[in-house]
């Protein structure tokens, strides 16, 4: 049976999850799973809350919610940067479930930038708003079937303190184009309503307020930041 284009995303909501194996090199529990329903099946990555390694600077058990909040922000902007990601119960309890992107593992930000400048400009803006502390080059994937660029691994986002750490500094100092700034302004308006409530179900109140502050700051001064010389602004390893 062939899947319709939207079928893999729809399966994530209530399909039966079965573990296939572990995702290599992950510092937290990341499981490759199948999600099945009514004879249809898709691959996904399931990150259970109980498999999260405690961190000194992020609240314990919050990474799967941040993964989902990152997807929520991407969708609110209308940029489609992150594969569908939901928070749901699975074989090891509550966790994030994200559609698997079929990609070439030899590709990454540094090999993809030249042909996908527009997509990575959006990522640069997104990471500022999400306060991404861990944008490695290998977190940028080109989907084989669509040639679209997707970002993964957004557990270390939305901290209240400025912690931007990324390999995407090629746009530093550039002014955000008007059409993209319009998207940011729309999100700001929606944060006072249902969108703010959705974030409130995933993040702590202070983190939602910090997100609003970052949006306001970008709208007031729509230039992408430069690396902070007094801070480790690039993650390691870079890939």
The reported pTM is: 0.95
For residue 235, being part of any structural domain is answered with no
- Which domain does 204 fall in, by range? 7-220
For the chain, helix, strand, coil in percent to 5 are 35, 20, 45
For residue 163, being part of any structural domain is answered with yes
pLDDT in tens, 87-101: 999 999 999 999 999
For residue 234, being part of any structural domain is answered with no
For residue 90, being part of any structural domain is answered with yes
C-alpha–C-alpha distance, residues 28 and 64, integer Å: 10
For residue 110, being part of any structural domain is answered with yes
Number of domains present in the structure of the chain: 1
Confidence label for 6 from pLDDT (cuts 50, 70 and 90): low
For residue 232, being part of any structural domain is answered with no
Q: Mean pLDDT in the chain?
A: 95
For residue 149, being part of any structural domain is answered with yes
C-alpha–C-alpha distance, residues 36 and 17, integer Å: 7
For residue 186, being part of any structural domain is answered with yes
> What is the separation, in whole angstroms, between the first and last Cα of the chain?
37
Exposure string for 159-190, b = 16+ CB within 10 A, e = fewer: beeebbbbbbbebeeeebeeebeebbeebbee
């Amino acid at each position: 049976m062939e899947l319709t284009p939207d079928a893999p995303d729809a399966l994530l909501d209530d399909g039966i999850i079965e573990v296939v194996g572990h995702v290599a090199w992950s510092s937290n529990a990341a499981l490759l799973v199948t999600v099945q329903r009514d004879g249809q099946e898709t691959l996904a990555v399931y990150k259970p809350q109980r498999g999260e390694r405690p961190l000194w600077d992020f609240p314990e058990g919050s990474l799967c919610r941040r993964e989902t909040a990152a997807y929520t922000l991407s969708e609110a902007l209308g940029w489609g940067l992150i594969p569908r990601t939901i928070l749901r119960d699975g074989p090891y309890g509550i966790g994030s479930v994200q559609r698997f992107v079929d990609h070439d593992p030899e590709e990454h930000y540094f090999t993809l930038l030249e042909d996908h400048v527009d997509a990575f400009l959006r990522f640069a803006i997104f990471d500022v708003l999400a306060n991404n502390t861990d944008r490695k080059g290998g977190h940028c994937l080109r989907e084989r079937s669509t040639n679209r660029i997707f970002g993964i691994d957004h557990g270390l986002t939305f901290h209240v303190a400025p912690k931007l750490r990324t390999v995407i500094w090629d746009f530093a100092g550039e002014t955000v184009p008007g059409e993209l700034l319009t998207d940011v302004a729309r999100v700001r308006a929606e944060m006072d309503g249902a969108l703010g409530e959705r974030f409130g179900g995933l993040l702590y109140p202070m983190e939602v307020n910090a997100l609003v502050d970052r949006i306001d700051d970008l709208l007031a001064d729509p230039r992408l930041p430069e690396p902070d010389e007094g801070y480790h602004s690039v993650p390691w390893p870079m890939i």
